[in-house]
Amino acid sequence: MSVTLDLSRKPPAAPVKPNLGGMTREQLRTALIEGGVCPSEKAKMRTGQIWRWIHDAGATSFDAMTNIDKGTREALAERFEVSRPEIVERQVSTDGTRKWLIRTAPGIEIETVFIPGVGRAGALCVSSQVGCTLNCTFCHTGTQALVRNLTAAEIIAQVQVAKDDLGEWPSDKHDRDMSNIVFMGMGEPLYNMDAVADAIDVISDGEGIGLSRRRITVSTSGVVPELKPLGERTQAMLAISLHAATDALRDVLVPINKKYPIAELMAGIRAYPGLSNARRVTFEYVMLKGVNDSPADARALVQLLKGIPAKINLIPFNPWPGSPYECSSWSTIEIFAAIVNKAGYASPIRTPRGRDILAACGQLKSESEKTRASVRRKLAVQPGA
Ligand code: SAH
Ligand code: SF4
């Protein structure tokens, strides 16, 4: 006699409790009132208390919140969570760069990278989307379809996971390894403005992580209509993935250029709220051998940026399997940097970091795909799998 198990019917999933750790102050206050945990006249005080436990102390359980009475803590635990998402993989490069693969929901895997020695002390590179709708031809993320926008909570969770690992709770505002946050991971942040702006509100809150908005940089491929809203809503520093000084070439490298050509982009940047010599825009320029790296390209770039308070970040191209470009030689990059520098612009060459763990610019997502491929291979050779 054989017994057939019906595997098509999944057991009912346990209801997911709302996680307070990724909410804005206002969302937290509303959740407490609507969850019946506290009356509205007490909600401001309770919100402040819980906020400090989560965002200053880094609490991941209600039990830790010792200045809240036991009855309220139990009521909180019944209705809500403050736990972290699952960390699928953690890697540390020989140069100290750390990369986490975080799973926030089935099929939603996010890569986050911490790079020591960048910015004042170290920079966390966060993702805003899984995949990307744009198809920059030199970027591996761009070859992968958009899975979805990340929520503010999923962006904040990346910061929290990194702070757990770096041992940075409570949030010391002066002496910390994670001094800067850059939205330079997977995805186009300006296609996910609401979540990015909410996440920045939480990360910069003075009663929590308290990271100054001047130390938070949002990088965009050039979604021109969203530049002004970004500046007004976040006061974040702006980085532009320029990569070419002419429309003919930028149309190929950064195809969103066909929609918002260079002249429109430059006008949008000049109007970016708060732009000044103290708050310069960073232009990212990936160095592609024989494509955009000649002295004439450097001179065209300088000409284009005239009058804009800017620094130019030259990024040696990080290759990925099947990529159609090569990185410029070191001497070519140095000649390019010298021309830009002579014109009065700081032109640091971004040292490739974490290449051994595929954590460098434009390599994100590839490792998680590889991981999945290797898991698939393993499964394939297991008898009966
Ligand atoms: N989508 C946004 C945010 C991602 S930032 C943007 O494009 O600005 C990631 C930075 O790394 C961008 O400047 C991007 O152009 C650059 N980049 C992408 N692929 C790269 C690669 N293979 N080598 C070096 N830099 C790359
Ligand atoms: Fe998307 Fe930025 Fe990569 Fe372009 S460079 S494909 S906008 S992640």
For ligand 2, the distance from its centroid to the CA atom of residue 282, given in whole angstroms, is 16
pLDDT at 154 over 60: yes
Q: Is the CB of 282 under 6 A from ligand 1?
A: no
**Does 209 lie in the same domain as 67?**
no
Determine phi and psi for 318, rounding to 5 degrees.
-100, 115
Nearest residue (CA) to ligand 1, atom 18: 362
Per-residue pLDDT tens over the stretch 20-64? 999 999 999 999 999 999 899 999 999 999 999 999 999 999 999
Q: Read off the pLDDT of each residue in 325-344 and give the average, rounded to a whole number.
A: 96
**Does 314 lie in the same domain as 239?**
yes
Is 361 marked active-site?
A: yes
Lowest mean pLDDT among 59-73, 99-113, 170-184: 170-184
**Of 111, 168, 226, 367, catalytic:** 111
Q: What percent of the chain has pLDDT over 70?
A: 89
**Does 58 lie in the same domain as 43?**
yes
CB atoms inside a 10 Å sphere around CB 364: 28
CATH of the domain at 27: 1.10.150
**Does 152 lie in the same domain as 271?**
yes
Domains contained in the chain, number:
2
For ligand 2, the distance from its centroid to the CA atom of residue 117, given in whole angstroms, is 24
| Helix, strand, or coil (residue 281) | strand
Give, in order, the Cα–Cα distances in Å from 167 to each of 94, 118, 216, 296. 20, 18, 20, 47
Ligand nearest to the CA of 133: 2
pLDDT at 384 over 60: no
Per-residue pLDDT tens over the stretch 36-47? 998 999 999 999
Higher pLDDT, 278 or 3: 278
Residue ending a domain, among 79, 99, 116, is: 79
**Does 228 lie in the same domain as 130?**
yes
Q: Is the CB of 221 under 6 A from ligand 2?
A: yes
| Helix, strand, or coil (residue 195) | helix
**Does 337 lie in the same domain as 198?**
yes
Is 244 within the bounds of a domain? Answer: yes
pLDDT at 382 over 90: no
d(CA 346, CA 337): 9
Is 164 within the bounds of a domain? Answer: yes
Q: Read off the pLDDT of each residue in 64-72 and give the average, rounded to a whole number.
A: 95
Q: Is the CB of 325 under 6 A from ligand 1?
A: no
Per-residue pLDDT tens over the stretch 371-381? 443 333 333 33
Is 14 within the bounds of a domain? Answer: no
pLDDT at 166 over 90: yes
pLDDT at 193 over 70: yes
Is 111 marked active-site?
A: yes
Q: Is the CB of 128 under 6 A from ligand 1?
A: no
Per-residue pLDDT tens over the stretch 266-313? 999 999 999 999 999 999 999 999 999 999 999 999 999 999 999 999
Nearest residue (CA) to ligand 1, atom 17: 362
Q: Is the CB of 104 under 6 A from ligand 2?
A: no
d(CA 175, CA 168): 9
Best mutation site among 111, 134, 143, 364 for ligand 2 pocket (most ligand atoms within 8 Å of CB):
134
**Does 91 lie in the same domain as 65?**
no
Which residues contact residue 13 at a Cβ distance below 8 angstroms, ignoring those fewer than 6 apart?
none
Range of the domain at 54: 20-79
Return mean pLDDT, the chain. Answer: 89
